Amino acid sequence: MMEPAVTGTKNVMTAAAEAKVRRVVLTSSIGAVYMDPNRSPDVIVDESCWSDLEYCKNTKNLYCYGKTVAEQGAWDLAKKKGVDLVVVNPVVVLGPLLQPTVNATTIHILKYLNGAVKTYANAVQGYVHVRDVALAHIVVFETPSAYGRYICSERMLHRGEVVEILAKFFPEYPIPTKCSDEKNPRKQPYKFTNQKIKDLGIEFIPVKQCLYETVKSLQENGHLPIPKLAKDSVKTH
């Protein structure tokens, strides 16, 4: 996980500097932003926030650790080599699949539909449509005044809210209704702002539409069987 994130980013930044490109847009992650146990729940997470590397290491969250080290390395190289760098920090990216295989973020939704899990986690995450992430990259590349980092997130949802949305759209699937952790209080989402990217004209696709399109794409690509009941319903309407 470390090698492609850190060395890959370094290689691209070095090549970009040598080629004297006008601007580099780096896809980082919210994982490089929000992992900080010392941040007060009242603090609004914005582009000035960075994940705590020691905390990432101690909790064995190598994804966030790798993304943080890679992005910090990119900023160091940009400064050193005079590269105009802009960074997009997306949350969990969902929506229609381009590739034939299922990726890790899509499995996150698929498992709630195919019976792989019987409960949902007591956890919160941010969600964003893949089309908005793609558009964010174009906008920050083409807008001369764009600078620094841009959090790319439509909204935060508890997993309980995710399964509720899925159940409303697709009641024919065995979607979990119980939380795996009923002892502890329901996790509350951290506060964040996406105003900086909105100021560049991004209007986010609602997360409900994002989840709906993700499931339809899984069905169309053969990753999720359409129950007979649903097929019959489609024929009669």
Q: Which residues are catalytic?
A: 67
Rounded to an integer, what distance in angstroms lies between the CA atom of residue 151 and that of residue 30?
Answer: 7
Query: Contact 154/129 with Cβ under 8 angstroms?
Result: yes
Taking Cα atoms as reference points, which of 132, 109, 127 lies closest to residue 205?
Answer: 132
3-state percent helix, strand, coil for the chain, nearest multiple of 5? 45, 15, 40
Q: If DSSP codes are grouped into helix, strand and coil, which group holds residue 195? A: helix
**Residue 115, both tokens:** 């019976």
Angle at 129 between CA 126 and CA 134, to 5 degrees: 115
Question: Which stretches within 82-129 are classed as H helix?
Answer: 104-110
Q: If DSSP codes are grouped into helix, strand and coil, which group holds residue 174? A: coil
Q: Compute CA distances 210 → 67, 97, 159, whole Å.
A: 24, 12, 15
Rounded to an integer, what distance in angstroms lies between the CA atom of residue 200 and that of residue 179?
Answer: 38
